[in-house]
A and B are shown apart, each in its own frame.
Chain A
Amino acid sequence: MSENPDIVVTEAPHLMSDGDSTLLVMSDVLLALLPATLAGIYLFGINTLYVIMAAVFTAMAVEAVFLRRIGSFQEVLGDGSAAVTGLLLALTLPPDISPGLAAAGAAMGIIIGKLLLGGLGHNIFNPALVGRAILLAIWPAAMTTYSSPLDGNTTATVLGGAEYSYAEMFLGNIPGSIGETSALLLLLGAIYLFFRGRIGWRIPLGYLGTVALLSPLFGANVLVQLLGGGLMLGAFYMATDMVTSPMDDRAKLIFGVGCGLFTIVIRELATLPEGVTYAILLMNALVPLMDRYIKRRAFGEVN
């Protein structure tokens, strides 16, 4: 038999879609969060920049060391998911928190919320929210002290009873966590993610819709509930986390509704002023169950 050149043999398919990668998915999320991030720095001052950098770089560094991916910046960046976790955590923190706490939260979020569970794709809970929940449990005071973007003095947030106009709440110059206050900029980023196919409409709509519908039942102002606190950030950027939300379309809607239900219940019936973190974490825990039992009908499936 004659000579064969060194041809390549792999299984079908032999074409790949152009250039999508996990890094690109994560880059899109970072890009979408950029306006809200910059607004947070602009509104709340230089400390927020340190907080953000501390959280992002700690998250990346911890994962890089843990996975021994430390050869180059590219390796440390990896698939970009640690940077997303760090940034998301930072955006949920009060502006005056110490960068050290932010770093501690990022490290715990990555280690406990992600790496110990098997790494990206295997974590049940959103790692950023795991980090935030731990911080909230250990340093409750630092996690619930907010300053006004106007004078820097400590003040109550909208959910804590402070009154601001709807326009201020929509634009974001109100007290709150670093990246949660501007509904406008968060929406802009979400629209980008939607058209890039990175998030769907079911989870945010289920989430926001449920909060909107249930607010009157609890005697709460619908717009304050929607625009105040971390709901926008949570509904568009955290509940939609691919890894920790369900696969099936109906399950996604149910997941969003569940997040909304728990959020409003915690906000109105518990002692905590805000419930987004725990609501999403609670629903995260139900995802494996939903994945198993809520399945669309396969082609040709007959019962």
Chain B
Amino acid sequence: MRTIKSFDKGMYIPHHKEYTNDKKITRLLPYPKEVIIPLNQHIGETVEPLVEVGDRVEVGDKIGDLDEFWSAPVFASLSGEVKAIEPRPTGTNGDCLSVVIAADEEQPEFTIEERENWEQLSINELKNLLQENGIVGMGGAACPTHINVSADDPVPNLILNGAECEPFLTCDHRMMVEWADKLIKGAQILFRIIQAQDCFIGIETNKPDAIEVLEEKTADLEHFHVVPLDTKYPQGYKKTLIKAITDKEPPMGARSAEVGCIVRNVGTTIAIYDAIVNQKPLFERVTTVSGPETIPQAGNYIVPIGTPVRHILEVCGVDTDNISSHKIILGGAMTGSAVTTLDAPVTKSDTGVLLLPEEMVELNEEVGPCIRCGKCVDNCPMFLFPNELSLSAEAEDYHEAERLHATECAECGICSYVCPSRRPVVESIVQAKPEAKKIRRSKK
């Protein structure tokens, strides 16, 4: 019996993965008539458009970039003509300057050309290629990968995040099963970049086929370890993952590298392989389209970045005129963003497009006072006091919020999930976080 690793606290919540966990990855066809490519799909600065209205672009062309460390370029995800460069609504960022491409009827396939001598590239060349190809964290965080791996000193542990603890999502699961070879090669590239000693692939036990496939494929690889993880939320959060796999606890404010770990999502790792080996920049991704019986053709689809949610839902058989009082989420059900408009595009870090029906969208729930029942305290994976934090946030007492470590909140949402008074606990904490961070920084 191999050991299943885990972390303290957190919660067992329904997985809802049965709708798509056996659906093979396929391309979402037909392509949309228009893609909307936001010029900020990462943590960092908005990039500048490299094209003008009326320009022809081919799939894979770089259309936005900035000469800044904290940025990642964006690419045309379909061939066509630039129709507009203007602010457009996005799921997460509010309005964001975007390049709108009117796509050609006929779409050529992106031609993959293996990069010559990619195995001989230096570490610095590899790091540059990560930024060059717009690689960012695709599990939701959207931090540019070249920043994560920027340290010059070796980092001993490479951790591949295949936990996929969010309900409904199965894109990472399917990629691990179907694209295991790419994943492993991508991991070997990362392994070289950070000069690691060990690579751990953490996978929750509700994906036994992924565990099996990867164990088989890494059996002969020295330093590669598949680590089965308890299916507990939020196992895929960086800190709880590091704790589960290495038993190390990243100190507050420290970067993972300081405890000798670099964590990368499995989808990102595959994108790294494609960028380095196939010279394919990040212009499309696998996204889970799902919901509780709300999507006739739920599945795991390759979609061009910038595809509007409306197009995805329609191709999957949803009658978009008939979904009032529903909620559409980009990302996961616990941490994703509800879109304000069906024109919001899928971006690099959008793991899912979820359609929740009216009965799951509780609007008229009366919010009661905190009865100090302690459920949020009992389950908080960061060992905070979410109830007290949310009260201080509501009172705009940011010094108190900082004292209570608002800065450390994982934003996993468990506190709001369990609250019997239906209080928006995590929502308040998230709102207080920027102020609390400022205060904490000024204390140092």
Interfacial residues of chain A within 14-70, with CB under 8 A of chain B in the complex: 14-17, 20-22, 24-25
Known A-B contacts A1-B343, A301-B405; A17 and B369 likewise in contact (beta carbons under 8 Å): no
Q: Is B417 a contact of A17 with CB atoms below 8 Å?
A: yes
Q: Which of A21, A245, A298 has the most CB of B within 10 A?
A: A298
Q: Closest chain B residue to A299 by CB distance? A: B382
**Separation of A229 and B286 alpha carbons in the complex (Å):** 66
Residue B38, interface by CB 8 Å: no
Known A-B contacts A1-B343, A4-B341, A7-B326; A12 and B361 likewise in contact (beta carbons under 8 Å): no
Q: Closest chain A residue to B8 by CB distance? A: A299
Known A-B contacts A24-B420, A247-B377, A300-B252; A14 and B369 likewise in contact (beta carbons under 8 Å): no
Q: Is B324 a contact of A5 with CB atoms below 8 Å?
A: yes
Known A-B contacts A7-B324, A298-B384, A300-B251; A15 and B335 likewise in contact (beta carbons under 8 Å): no
In the complex, identify which listed stretch (A85-93, A114-122, A171-179, A260-268) lies at the interface while the others stay far away.
Answer: A114-122
**Separation of A3 and B341 alpha carbons in the complex (Å):** 9
- Which residues does chain A contribute within 8 Å of B426, judged by CB atoms? 12-13
Query: CB < 8 Å: which of A9, A13, A79, A296 contacts B416?
Result: A13
Known A-B contacts A5-B342, A25-B420; A120 and B254 likewise in contact (beta carbons under 8 Å): no
Residues 380-391 of chain B: 1 if any A CB is under 8 Å from the residue's CB, otherwise 0?
Answer: 011111011000
- Which residues does chain B contribute within 8 Å of A248, judged by CB atoms? 377, 385
Residue A153, interface by CB 8 Å: no
**Separation of A13 and B424 alpha carbons in the complex (Å):** 9
- Which residues does chain B contribute within 8 Å of A121, judged by CB atoms? 369-372
Q: Is A12 a contact of B369 with CB atoms below 8 Å?
A: no
Number of interface residues of B (CB under 8 A): 70
Residues 60-79 of chain B: 1 if any A CB is under 8 Å from the residue's CB, otherwise 0?
Answer: 00000000000000000000
Separation in Å of the A30 CB from the closest CB of chain B?
Answer: 15
Separation in Å of the A180 CB from the closest CB of chain B?
Answer: 25
Query: CB < 8 Å: which of B310, B369, B383 contacts A119?
Result: B369
- Which residues does chain B contribute within 8 Å of A81, judged by CB atoms? 371
Residues 263-303 of chain A: 1 if any B CB is under 8 Å from the residue's CB, otherwise 0?
Answer: 00000000000000000000000000001000111111110
**Separation of A242 and B243 alpha carbons in the complex (Å):** 31
Q: Is A247 a contact of B383 with CB atoms below 8 Å?
A: no
**Separation of A6 and B374 alpha carbons in the complex (Å):** 36
Separation in Å of the A160 CB from the closest CB of chain B?
Answer: 36
**Separation of A70 and B382 alpha carbons in the complex (Å):** 42
Chosen A-B contacts, 12 in total, with CB atoms closer than 8 Å, are A4-B343, A5-B320, A8-B326, A11-B430, A12-B335, A12-B411, A15-B360, A119-B369, A121-B370, A298-B408, A301-B252, A301-B383
A1-B341, A5-B322, A12-B411 are known contacts; what are 18 more A-B pairs with Cβ within 8 Å?
A: A5-B326, A8-B326, A8-B327, A8-B361, A11-B424, A13-B334, A13-B335, A13-B414, A16-B416, A21-B420, A197-B375, A245-B372, A248-B377, A299-B382, A299-B383, A299-B408, A300-B250, A300-B254
